[in-house]
Amino acid sequence: MKLKIKPLVQACALSLLAGSAIATTPAGTMIINKVVATYQDAAGNRYSSESNVINLTIREVYAAALTPGNGAKQEVSVTDKEVISSHTLKNTGNVKQEFKLVASNAEDDTIDGKIAIYLDKDGSGDLSEEEINAGEIASITLEADEVANLILVTTLPGAIKESDTLHITLTVTDSKGNIVTDVNDVIVSFKSLDDNLTDTDVMIMPTGPGSTCNAYAWIQEAVNWQEAKKRASNWIYRGKRGHLATLTTEAENAFLAEKLPDYGRWWIGAYRTKDGAAFTDRWITGEPFDYTNWWAGEPNNSGEKALEFAGNGQWNDFVDTYGRHYLVEFELGACPDAPKPKVEVSLAAAKDLTCDGEPDDEFGDVDLTEMASGECVIMHVRAENTSNEVARKIHVKQAVPTHASYVPNSITLCGSVGTECVDLTPRTDDASDTDAGYYDENSGVIGVGGDYEDLKPGAIWHAEYRLKID
């Protein structure tokens, strides 16, 4: 006999079969099914009858869900050192599972980043000191329905171009060897950053052999430590992204103490994760926390988590929610070229046929022809500082050519800004010629300048001397 079920009852039965939350019911759970029938006879006596039992046993289900968090698509600077992305893994099966984690670059990537996977215990999307110290992970065990927050840190190589590509994939394999099929990729492109600090905003310090330098900026914004850490990375100098300063040597600490005012206090890059614990064993950059310069009695661990630098060079732990200015450090690598002065020098000449010291015609930079023995020529030297830096102790020399002689005491020198000529103090180091320069009879060299006033940007000086044809 075929059992017929009314449509409503049939729908309910189907719902019971299809709607059971198998993924959240533990494997091995037994669901007991039994029917009890009650009935009466003609006299109203009640009776009951029980059916046979059908048990439903829940099978093991191995499943997981992997979803990307922040940083699934990023555009980072060509000077950045790492790429950080967050990911969420959930055991959607009904058994405890160990998941293997593998992060890799795409085969066609133009750069190869070193990828580390960390457990983000507090789910903040950012790695704390404690989480970093816990180390990298290659697998994780989760109970059914348990969630793990993961952070991938990809260390970038030193030289990156805007045309480079980076495609990071996190692959998760469950206890049965099944690969979680969810797409969980990080697509990274690169760009050059525009500076928002200039040379006048920073202090540059050589940091080691090979002409390497760091730059430091004092940012006059009063913010709490966490906000200072965040904002520091938004400052760009010479294409380098900044971070809160990490003072790892006595020389570095002394450099800033000399440059900064004595009265100030600034956030720098270290933070205590637990009250009462050692302050830290690393800077936010990962550098070891070996060098310290604490004030007497500090750190005192009294709920003060952040590190501040005082103008006298000493350190103090302080309440991280207070507002402070902050110090930003830029690791430049090669030292920037120091600004250099540039002087352009030119030579003109005019005939002085009677050797009376007066030019017979206009000075020019063309060859003079049809000259004879006993006639003179006046040489005119013009030196102009075309840079923005002071040019110091300009010294111009000419070797007297063959078949010509220097006319004694004929050197004159004046400086000018624009067209106005201003006399300069003459040299006095040669007893035979005490005007604006000298003539060395042994070497046959005429010298002009050397110990005069510095030539400031835009300034010009002029010198003249005479030669006589032998």
DSSP state of 339: P
Closest CA relative to residue 228, chosen from 326, 153, 355:
326
List, edge to edge, every strand of the sheet that includes 73-77.
Answer: 73-77, 185-191, 166-173, 97-105, 139-142
- The tokens 């990274």 sit on which residue? 188
How far is residue 31's CA from residue 290's CA, in Å, rounded to a whole number? 62
Neighbour count for residue 154 (Cβ, 10 Å) = 23
pLDDT grade for 413, boundaries at 50, 70 and 90: confident
Task: Tell me what pLDDT residue 22 has.
Answer: 43
pLDDT tens-digit profile of 187-227?
A: 888 877 788 888 878 888 887 665 788 899 999 999 999 99
pLDDT attached to residue 13: 29
Q: Outline which parts of the chain fall under CATH 3.10.100.10.
A: 199-334
DSSP run (H or E) holding 11: helix 7-18
What's the mean per-residue pLDDT of the chain?
A: 81
Q: Which two tokens stand for residue 81?
A: 């050192």
Q: How far is CA 253 from CA 199, 217, 222, 243, 290, in A?
A: 21, 14, 22, 16, 13
CA 344 to chain centroid: 38
Percent of the chain with pLDDT strictly greater than 90: 26
Measure the CA–CA gap between 180 and 172, rounded to whole angstroms: 6
Q: What does the alpha-carbon distance between residue 295 and residue 67 come to, in Å, rounded to a whole number? A: 47
Alpha-carbon distance 330 to 308, whole Å? 18
3-class secondary structure, 14: helix
Q: Peptide bond before 299: cis, by omega within 30 degrees of 0?
A: yes
State the fold for domain 343-469.
Immunoglobulin-like (2.60.40)
The Cβ of residue 45 has, within 10 Å, a number of other Cβ atoms equal to: 8
- Reading the block at residue 448, the tokens are 């002009």
User: 50-61 burial string, b = 16+ CB within 10 Å, else e?
Assistant: eeeeeeeebeeb
From residue 383, alpha-carbon distances to 29, 222, 394, 462 in Å are 97, 49, 9, 7
Quickly name the fold that domain 199-334 has.
Answer: Mannose-Binding Protein A; Chain A (3.10.100)
Bridge pairing between strands 73-77 and 185-191: parallel
Residues in the chain: 470
Q: If pLDDT is split at 50, 70 and 90, which confidence band does 35 have?
A: very high
Torsion of CA 41, 45, 51, 57, to 10 degrees: 140
Any idea which of 133-142, 201-210, 272-281, 308-317 has the lowest mean pLDDT?
272-281
Q: How far apart are CA 190 and CA 109, in angstroms?
A: 13
Say if strands 315-318 and 395-399 run parallel, antiparallel, or are unpaired. Answer: unpaired
Q: What CATH number was assigned to the domain covering residues 64-191?
A: 2.60.40.10
Q: Please give the Cα distance from 168 to 83 (Å, whole number).
A: 10
Cβ contact 225:267 at 8 Å: yes
DSSP H helical ranges for 115-236:
129-133, 225-232
Judge whether residue 4 has pLDDT over 50: no
Give first-to-last CA distance, the chain, whole Å: 142
Q: Are 170 and 103 in contact (CB under 8 A)?
A: yes
pTM of the model: 0.50
Q: Give the integer Cα–Cα distance in Å for 89 and 99.
A: 9
Domain with CATH 2.60.40.10 in the chain: 64-191
